[in-house]
Amino acid sequence: MTDLDLIIKKLDDFAPPELAQEWDMPGWQVYLGNKKINRIMLALSPTEDVIKSAVNKDCELLITHHPMFSCNLDHKNLQIYSMHTNLDFAPKGIAWLLGKMLKPGREEPLDYIVNKIKTTLNTGTIKLINPSNIEKISKIEVMPGSGGSLIPELKDIDLYVTGDVKYHDALEVRGFAVIDAGHFETERIILPVLRDLLDEFNVETFIAEEKPPWEFV
């Protein structure tokens, strides 16, 4: 059993809330005042299935990346805390981790990078946008989650890796290649890091079983 305040301080030290974008709503989504924590679940999104799983495992705390998008979910005695854009931009948060995992060691062929991304992010399908026929990759920029809208601002890179690239965003690609590796796939990599972060506490920590809300058929 661990005091809740110690856990939240550890999380806030790792991803300070002040790093969040102005529009963002990280922090407490559900706070019930229960300070004694024995079990924690980690997840990307506080979906109905995730909340049910946390409740069934008798977790007192659910830590998510995405804030709640519905106030009608039955969370029972479960408290929910989110770390959203502050976790994206933390010094060793999701963007840093994604860049570290995908950073080329030298100039590498694009087909090698494609396979590396599939393997690293454990995904069988990605989107490649390469109108300039880029073949060699030495400089990569990343944006976990949804980063297609940033494409017009990018320059002096060989490859941009993100998720949720829309059709009209893809038409803006000039002088570099873009890989849409998926919103879910580029963000879930942080969950084992958060689990390790909480290892010092006397709690049992679970990573939720999640999958993207669609499938390829």
Residues 120 and 174 both lie in one domain: yes
Residues 128 and 51 both lie in one domain: no
Q: How large is the greatest C-alpha to C-alpha distance in the chain, in angstroms?
A: 56
Residue 193, domain member (yes or no): no
Structural domain ending residue among the three candidates 88, 119, 148: 88
What is the span of the domain harbouring residue 84? Answer: 2-88
Residues 124 and 163 both lie in one domain: yes
Residue 136's CB: how many other CB atoms inside 10 A? Answer: 14
Domain CATH for 27: 3.40.1390.30
Residues 101 and 167 both lie in one domain: yes
CA–CA dist 33, 4 (Å, integer): 9
Residue 112, domain member (yes or no): yes
Residues 114 and 70 both lie in one domain: no
Render each residue's pLDDT in the chain as its tens digit; 217 residues: 899 999 999 999 999 999 999 999 999 999 999 999 999 999 999 999 999 999 999 999 999 999 998 777 778 899 999 999 999 999 999 999 999 999 987 899 999 999 999 999 999 999 999 999 999 999 999 999 999 999 999 999 999 999 999 999 999 999 999 999 999 999 999 999 999 999 999 999 999 999 998 888 8
pTM of the model: 0.94
